[in-house]
């Protein structure tokens, strides 16, 4: 472990137990479409994930307790908060938890978010708007946004196009970055992290991060070798305090992603902020 290593702010917990909560279409997406490791489709033990993190120079990973999909739909899945909590308890100096949000849970979901933060020690919330086909500025999210302000935690949410087309579940692209504009105005205390770069609307995502002090960008799920030049310029210059590192593992492998970032030739200060400092500041990490 490298105490000055990177912080990966977007990681799917991929243990065999977690895989039992995911639907069968995961192989078609993670292996066939995203070219992930076929041998790990049925799960990777935490110890192997840590070994890969160590090899890549990654100190800490944020594990997502994902909530995805409309109630009752066969493609819907949830990773229990408790499963992520148990992983964090086993390796508290390596993992942090993120609480997935389902807007259809209503106030019960808000209460569960409170429990995840106050009892389980989760450091933030996580949201996939595409799975609910509700844009980030929809009123159903507002009770969760308000609670995040009260708990003083960030919420990361996928922006840009939907990457998944599950059977009988189109997952329409409702995540235009411009929809963060109203949210950032209505909740100036809320730290909003737009993950997945906002592709194909990257310029729009950059505009939101530039305009709002409380909007940030997660660079996960898209290989650094294919990042748009405007995004590289942003994080290497006037946006160096606004971007946090992530892989969306296993969508991207830790080692390859770090190698591709190294090949970008970023300046030392922006590189350090990207890989560690920005996430530590935004998520209020004490160590």
Q: Whole-angstrom Cα distance, residue 198 to residue 208?
A: 10
Residue 28 has pLDDT above 70, yes or no: no
Q: Using alpha carbons only, what angle is made at residue 59 by residues 208 and 128, rounded to the nearest 5 degrees? A: 40
Q: Is 260's pLDDT higher than 90?
A: yes
What is the domain extent for residue 22?
Answer: 6-282
Whether the Cβ atoms of residue 6 and residue 258 lie closer than 8 Å to each other: yes
Q: Let me know: does 52 contact 254? Beta carbons within 8 Å.
A: yes
Q: Residue 22 half-sphere exposure, CB side, CA atoms within 13 Å?
A: 22
Q: How many domains does the chain have?
A: 1
Residue 287 lies in a domain: no
- CATH code of 74's domain: 3.20.20.140
How high is the pLDDT of residue 123?
Answer: 98
Q: How far apart are CA 260 and CA 256, in angstroms?
A: 6
Q: Is residue 263 part of a domain?
A: yes
CA dist 116 to 94, 108, 131, 226, Å?
Answer: 18, 12, 21, 35
Question: Is the residue at 36 inside a domain?
Answer: yes
- Does residue 1 form part of some domain? no
Q: What does the pLDDT look like over 86-115, one tens digit per residue?
A: 999 999 999 999 999 999 999 999 999 999
The per-residue pLDDT for range 184-229, each reduced to its tens digit, is 999 999 999 999 999 999 999 999 999 999 999 999 999 999 999 9
pLDDT at 29 over 80: no
Average pLDDT over residues 65-94: 92
Residue 22's pLDDT band, with cuts at 50, 70 and 90, is confident
pLDDT band at 172 (very low <50, low <70, confident <90, very high): confident
pLDDT of res. 169: 64
């Amino acid at each position: 472990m490298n105490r000055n290593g990177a912080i990966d702010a977007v990681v799917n917990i991929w243990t065999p137990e977690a895989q039992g909560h995911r639907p069968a279409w995961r192989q078609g997406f993670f292996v066939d479409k995203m070219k992930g490791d076929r041998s790990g489709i049925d799960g990777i033990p935490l110890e192997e994930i840590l070994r890969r993190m160590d090899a890549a120079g990654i100190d800490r990973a944020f594990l997502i307790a994902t909530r995805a999909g409309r109630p009752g739909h066969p493609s819907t899945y949830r990773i229990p908060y408790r499963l992520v909590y148990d992983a964090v308890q086993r390796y508290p100096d390596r993992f942090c938890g993120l609480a997935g949000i389902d807007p259809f849970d209503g106030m019960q979901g808000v209460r569960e978010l409170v429990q995840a933060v106050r009892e389980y020690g989760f450091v933030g919330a996580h949201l996939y708007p595409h799975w609910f086909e509700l844009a980030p500025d929809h009123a159903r999210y507002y009770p969760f946004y308000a609670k995040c302000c009260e708990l003083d935690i960030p919420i990361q949410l996928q922006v840009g196009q939907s990457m998944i087309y599950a059977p009988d579940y189109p997952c329409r692209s409702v995540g235009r970055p411009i929809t963060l504009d109203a949210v950032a105005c209505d909740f100036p205390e809320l730290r909003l992290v737009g993950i997945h770069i906002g592709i194909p609307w990257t310029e729009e995502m950059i505009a939101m991060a530039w305009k709002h002090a409380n909007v940030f960008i997660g660079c996960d799920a898209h290989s650094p070798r294919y990042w748009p030049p405007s995004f590289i310029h942003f994080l290497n210059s006037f946006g160096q305090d606004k971007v946090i590192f992530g892989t969306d593992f296993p969508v991207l492998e830790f080692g390859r992603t770090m190698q591709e970032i190294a090949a970008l030739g970023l300046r030392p200060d922006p590189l350090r902020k990207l890989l560690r400092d920005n996430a530590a500041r935004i998520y209020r990490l004490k160590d």
